[in-house]
């Protein structure tokens, strides 16, 4: 078998000389493309010659209206295709398209006979010519040529064999009615077509299984078989509807026929949208999984970033389906290059990165600004890696998206940006950590760790407070030491909602700071991933992940709510945190939002009750950590929640930022010269009356 493989590769190399320069995997895959093209080309020629002999031009003149309608339906269903993308083995993807176009072609064949087969053939040839002009890659051109010969052989030879058998068995063209005998004859034709169709594809499929077995053993054979079964089987499942469509046309006329096809149009549209949604969800889940894994790996790696390139090589390429990826730092430090034999000039690319601080998307039709001469290219994403302190580009992530079945339009490409931006931030954070580590080697170890953790924590907190119409938001955090176990966040969600988070790790120092970083990342990640669900789902996912990954005897109290600014509805869960106070101005009532479950990180399979309040205009919500009620004066007396409530009630007319300052001043006045005992985080949400809004604090 190995000798046969070498023989086939030698044949393929004569038509595609560059194959011999590729690695073994790409060489074997390319050989399959060339050999499949060579054996299906004569089949396609035979089929087209046979079809030419059976073509009836008089029928075309008599039934031109039906030809026109069927051509329109065939084109429409071809455009409304769906796609399937499978990960056959790690970092090896397969993709296929399907549509209801085959059903439309069979409908035309049952009504018009062999002449109708030219409809799909002409569409396939036109699509190939368009792709030939836009595809610069030799590999993609061979792939499209192989697809063309397979499709032409199927559209001519396989269909003609089935139609010939259908007529010899007594089938009529046009199909007259939908009695059992007509349906059975039609199904027989479809079965014969499927058999010939599989024979045409058999050599390519067998070679594909051999390639998979040779490269990865039995790993992935099951996934490959399932992928091929779906890719080849799903489009054929719709073919029996062609019998029904043809019968409806002959028995009930144009109106019923078009009404039936309108239902199929909606079905095709739904299938297309579902394939988009499924692939977007797969990509998003893959990105979140890889980013979370990379984040844990970076945390556990040496602080000098000596393992960064190795970690990125392991995790970063797997974020994107079958893409070319380069991660580079100035001036010429290459962290990741996948595939390794990719020939690309990095100097003009990195020079251009110096001028850009934002991510850029370039479709295949867009010129690349760093190229002096415009060249064809795949869709490109360029994301700068910005220095955390200076905000200047220090490198970039460059991605070329290879053509899978998914159409890479601007919306699809832009959907990958959030994950790449997060990856760039992780790289920048890791490099920043390494820089801090290097700068502080001459200091005492404890001081070094404290400063390092403090800078990391400050980079994790929100850069700015969101501005909401008719709302005032104010927040501050005062660490008791260089690092803090407190954290807060404002998380933008769908439909203008915002996640409000305040939390406190039950410890101090470096352990609390590290645990805080992990908790904040997990809560934000799951809040965004489950943005259409409620806070109890987020807490459940975070709690399970903490207990699984963080093998340390720490826990965290947290209050997380989802605020709908327009209605004032706040849906929340309180995981053992100090109860926020809701000052209802209309009812002259103060309500404590008590815990709805235990803190996070204590016990598995815990659930949190969901609660909600309706914040009206003039209402105020105070959220805080235990650094306020536990603050004590030299006499050992505690500030307590009661004094906090009284202080707020006495100053409710003040704007949110001034109210925040008033509370902190009162705490400081109470404490006096006593040192701050615990971290203090204070957050205020105020809903203003629409007729007299107050400018949100800066």
Cα separation, 397 vs 359, in Å, equals: 9
Q: Are residues 40 and 188 in the same domain?
A: yes
Query: DSSP assignment of 543-602, as one string?
Result: HHHHHHH--SS--EEEEEEEEETTTTEEEEEEESPPPPEEEETTTTEEEE---SBPPBTS
**Average pLDDT of 268-280?**
75
pLDDT of 202 above 60: yes
pLDDT of 454 above 60: no
Of 288, 311, 338, the residue at which a domain comes to its end is 288
Query: In this structure, is residue 455 part of a structural domain?
Result: no
pLDDT of 455 above 90: no
Q: Are residues 309 and 273 in the same domain?
A: no
**Average pLDDT of 237-258?**
87
Pick from 363, 25, 39: nearest CA to 211 = 25
pLDDT at res. 271: 77
Which pLDDT band holds residue 698 (cuts at 50, 70, 90)? very low
* Rounded percentage of the chain residues whose pLDDT exceeds 70: 85
The interaxial angle of helices 445-460 and 417-439, nearest 10 deg, is: 160
Q: Are residues 258 and 373 in the same domain?
A: no
Q: Interior CA angle at 377 toward 374 and 379, to 5°?
A: 125
Q: 426-441, pLDDT tens digit by residue?
A: 888 888 888 777 776 5
pLDDT at res. 167: 92
pLDDT of 406 above 70: no
Here the CATH number for the domain that contains residue 571 is 3.60.40.10
In sequence order, the 6+-apart residues with CB closer than 8 A to the CB of 254 are none
Query: In this structure, is residue 293 part of a structural domain?
Result: no
Q: Are residues 471 and 570 in the same domain?
A: yes
First-last CA distance in the chain: 72
Q: Are residues 601 and 670 in the same domain?
A: yes
pLDDT at res. 498: 94
Which one has a higher pLDDT value, 505 or 364? 505
Q: Tokens in use for 42?
A: 């004569």
Which one has a higher pLDDT value, 112 or 308? 112
Burial class (CB in 10 A: 0-12, 13-18, 19+), 445: exposed
CA distances to 454, 485, 508, 552 from 511, rounded to whole Å, are 12, 9, 7, 9
Q: Are residues 326 and 216 in the same domain?
A: no
Q: Are residues 420 and 370 in the same domain?
A: yes
**Average pLDDT of 291-315?**
77
Of 262, 288, 314, the residue at which a domain comes to its end is 288
Q: Interior CA angle at 459 toward 456 and 465, to 5°?
A: 150
Residue 686 three-state SS: strand
**Average pLDDT of 379-393?**
84
Residue given tokens 């105070």 in the structure block: 622
Query: DSSP assignment of 228-240, as one string?
Result: HHHHHHHHHHTTT
pLDDT of 347 above 80: no
**Average pLDDT of 526-549?**
88
Lowest-confidence region among 248-252, 408-412, 667-671:
408-412
Alpha helices by DSSP H, listed for 154-307, are: 159-168, 180-216, 221-237, 241-300
Query: In this structure, is residue 555 part of a structural domain?
Result: yes
Of 263, 288, 313, the residue at which a domain comes to its end is 288
Expressed in percent and rounded to 5, the helix, strand and coil fractions of the chain are 55, 15, 30
pLDDT at res. 575: 95
Sign (positive or negative) of CA dihedral 597, 602, 607, 611: positive
497, 527 contact by CB (below 8 A): no
pTM higher than the cut 0.95: no
Q: 580-601, pLDDT tens digit by residue?
A: 999 998 888 999 999 999 999 9
Query: In this structure, is residue 572 part of a structural domain?
Result: yes
pLDDT of 693 above 50: no
In sequence order, the 6+-apart residues with CB closer than 8 A to the CB of 296 are 549
Q: Are residues 284 and 306 in the same domain?
A: no
Query: In this structure, is residue 350 part of a structural domain?
Result: yes
Burial class (CB in 10 A: 0-12, 13-18, 19+), 158: buried
pLDDT at res. 273: 76
Q: Are residues 410 and 364 in the same domain?
A: yes
Lowest-confidence region among 87-91, 105-109, 130-134, 358-362:
87-91
Q: Are residues 365 and 415 in the same domain?
A: yes
Residue given tokens 């779906």 in the structure block: 230
Alpha-carbon Rg for the chain in angstroms: 32
pLDDT at res. 652: 92
Residue given tokens 């032409």 in the structure block: 152
Q: Tokens in use for 529?
A: 């991933």
Which one has a higher pLDDT value, 142 or 654? 654
542, 532 contact by CB (below 8 A): no
Q: Tokens in use for 516?
A: 């805080």
**Average pLDDT of 451-470?**
73
Q: Are residues 154 and 182 in the same domain?
A: yes
Which pLDDT band holds residue 460 (cuts at 50, 70, 90)? low
Query: In this structure, is residue 37 part of a structural domain?
Result: yes
- Per the structure, the count of domains in the chain is 3
Q: Are residues 265 and 307 in the same domain?
A: no
Beta-bridge mates of residue 581: 592, 622
Which pLDDT band holds residue 33 (cuts at 50, 70, 90)? confident
In sequence order, the 6+-apart residues with CB closer than 8 A to the CB of 612 are 569, 570, 571, 572
Query: In this structure, is residue 440 part of a structural domain?
Result: no
Domain that holds residue 619: 464-687
Judging by DSSP bridges, how do beta strands 569-575 and 581-584 pair with one another? unpaired
Which pLDDT band holds residue 697 (cuts at 50, 70, 90)? very low
Residue given tokens 């479709």 in the structure block: 363
Cα separation, 238 vs 245, in Å, equals: 11
Count CA atoms within 13 Å of residue 323 on its CB side: 25
* Rounded percentage of the chain residues whose pLDDT exceeds 90: 31
Here the CATH number for the domain that contains residue 345 is 3.30.450.40
pLDDT of 545 above 50: yes
Query: In this structure, is residue 583 part of a structural domain?
Result: yes
The two most distant CA atoms of the chain are separated, in Å, by 108
3-state secondary structure 291-351: HHHHHHHHHHCCCCCCCHHHHHHHHCHHHCCCEEEEEEECCCEEEEEECCCCCCCHHHHHH
């Amino acid at each position: 078998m190995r000798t046969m493989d070498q023989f086939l590769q030698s044949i393929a190399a004569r038509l595609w000389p560059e194959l011999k320069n590729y690695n073994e995997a790409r060489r074997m895959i390319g050989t399959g493309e060339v050999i499949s093209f060579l054996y299906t080309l004569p089949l396609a020629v035979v089929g087209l010659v046979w079809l030419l002999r059976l073509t009836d031009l008089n029928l075309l003149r008599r039934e031109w209206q039906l030809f026109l309608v069927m051509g329109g339906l065939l084109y429409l269903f071809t455009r409304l295709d769906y796609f399937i993308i499978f990960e056959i083995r790690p970092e090896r993807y397969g993709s296929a398209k399907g549509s209801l176009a085959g059903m439309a072609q069979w409908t035309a064949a049952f009504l018009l006979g062999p002449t109708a087969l030219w409809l799909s053939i002409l569409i396939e040839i036109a699509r190939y010519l368009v792709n030939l002009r836009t595809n610069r890659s030799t590999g993609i051109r061979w792939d499209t040529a192989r697809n063309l010969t397979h499709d032409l052989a199927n559209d001519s030879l396989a269909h003609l064999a089935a139609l010939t058998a259908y007529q010899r068995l007594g089938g009529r063209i046009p199909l007259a009615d939908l009695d059992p005998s007509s349906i059975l004859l039609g199904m027989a034709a479809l079965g014969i077509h499927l058999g010939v169709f599989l024979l045409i594809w058999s050599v390519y499929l067998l070679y594909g299984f051999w390639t998979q077995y040779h490269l990865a053993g039995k790993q992935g054979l099951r996934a490959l078989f399932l992928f091929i079964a779906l890719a080849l089987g799903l489009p054929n499942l719709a073919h029996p509807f062609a019998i029904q469509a043809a019968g409806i046309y002959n028995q009930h006329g144009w109106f019923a026929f078009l009404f039936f096809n309108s239902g199929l149009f909606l079905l095709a549209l739904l299938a297309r949208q579902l394939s988009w949604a499924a692939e977007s969800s797969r990509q998003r889940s893959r990105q979140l999984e890889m980013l979370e894994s990379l984040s844990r790996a970076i945390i556990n790696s040496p602080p000098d970033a000596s393992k960064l390139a190795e970690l990125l090589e392991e995790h970063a390429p797997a974020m994107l389906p079958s893409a070319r990826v380069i991660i580079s730092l100035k001036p010429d430090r290459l962290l990741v290059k996948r595939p390794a034999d990719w020939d690309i000039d990095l100097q003009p690319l990195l020079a251009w990165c110096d001028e850009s601080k934002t991510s850029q998307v370039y479709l295949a039709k867009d010129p690349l600004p760093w190229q002096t001469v415009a060249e064809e290219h795949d869709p490109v994403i360029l994301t700068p890696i910005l220095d955390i302190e200076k905000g200047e580009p220090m490198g970039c992530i460059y991605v070329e998206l290879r053509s899978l079945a998914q159409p890479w339009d601007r919306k699809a490409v832009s959907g990958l940006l959030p994950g790449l931006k997060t990856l760039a931030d992780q790289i920048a954070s890791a490099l920043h950590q390494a820089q801090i580590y290097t700068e502080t080697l001459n200091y005492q170890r404890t001081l070094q760790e404290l400063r390092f953790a403090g800078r990391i924590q400050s980079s994790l907190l929100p850069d700015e407070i969101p501005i909401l119409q008719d709302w005032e938001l104010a927040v501050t955090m005062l660490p008791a030491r260089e690092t803090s176990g407190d954290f807060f966040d404002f998380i933008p969600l769908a439909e203008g909602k915002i996640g409000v988070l305040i939390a406190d790790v039950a410890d101090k120092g470096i352990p609390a700071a590290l645990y805080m970083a992990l908790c904040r990342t997990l809560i934000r990640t799951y809040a965004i991933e489950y943005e259409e669900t409620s806070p109890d789902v987020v807490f459940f996912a975070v709690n399970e992940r903490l207990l699984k990954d963080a093998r340390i005897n720490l826990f965290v109290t947290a209050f997380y709510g989802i605020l709908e600014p327009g209605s004032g509805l706040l849906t929340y869960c309180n995981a053992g945190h100090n109860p926020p106070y809701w000052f209802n101005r209309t009812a002259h009532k103060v309500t404590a939002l008590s815990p709805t479950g235990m803190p996070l990180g204590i016990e598995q399979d815990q659930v949190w009750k969901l609660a909600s309040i309706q914040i009206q205009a003039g209402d105020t919500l105070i959220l805080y950590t235990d650094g306020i009620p536990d603050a004590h004066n030299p006499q050992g007396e505690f500030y307590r929640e009661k004094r906090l409530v009284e202080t707020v009630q006495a100053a409710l007319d003040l704007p949110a930022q001034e109210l925040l300052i008033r509370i902190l001043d009162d705490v400081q006045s109470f404490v006096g010269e006593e040192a701050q005992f615990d971290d203090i985080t204070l957050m205020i949400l105020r809903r203003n009356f629409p007729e007299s809004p107050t400018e949100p604090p800066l």
